[in-house]
Amino acid sequence: PDDSVSAKLTKLTSFQRNWDENLSIVVNIELALECEIPKREWTEDITSSESEMNKSTIDDTNIEMNDEEIDEQEELMNMDGCCSICFSVHPDGNETDFPDVFCTNNLCKRGYHTLCLAQWFRSLTTTRHSFKTMFGSCIIAD
């Protein structure tokens, strides 16, 4: 897994010059990684058109959502690719520092910057230490 993450980070880093701020984060990442990111059914329904976004019911999935809930879901979708601690792709303006540690829980798979995760783990009394390695639970999954 580390090699595949490293390869993806390299692709993302080299793509920075071509990043188009007019496109969504997901589209830019798809272009950078030369792959399609799977979309949830309700995500496709929400983003299919502006008129669909203003509806209170998403027809295909029978999920009741008001405008405020749709806005919250859009905000969550826009966080994809960001560190789940600092909520940034590039902390401190360092454009080469993408999230590089990922939760191994298949239901989570959230990304973290190494420095953010280290600071978080240092603040917890439940973090275990062994030599220069810290062990702890995922902030989101657990």
Tens digit of each residue's pLDDT (9 = 90 or more) over 106-136: 777 788 888 888 888 888 888 888 887 888 8
Residue 50: the pLDDT is 40
Low-confidence stretches of the chain (pLDDT beneath 50): 42-63, 74-79
Give the C-alpha separation, 10 to 136, whole Å.
Answer: 27
Residue 29: the pLDDT is 83
Can you say whether residue 133 is alpha, beta or left, with left for phi > 0 and alpha for psi between -120 and 50 degrees? Answer: beta
Secondary structure class of 19 (helix, strand, coil)? coil
Give the C-alpha separation, 4 to 130, whole Å.
Answer: 26
Q: What residue spans define the domains of the chain?
A: 1-38, 39-80, 94-142
CATH of domain 94-142: 3.30.40.10
Distances (CA, A) of 139 to 56, 61, 72: 31, 29, 20
Residue 115: the pLDDT is 84
Residue 121: the pLDDT is 84
Residue 7: the pLDDT is 80
Q: Which H or E run contains 35?
A: none
Length reported for the chain: 142
Residue 118: the pLDDT is 84
Residue 92: the pLDDT is 59
Parallel/antiparallel/unpaired status of strands 57-58 and 63-64: antiparallel
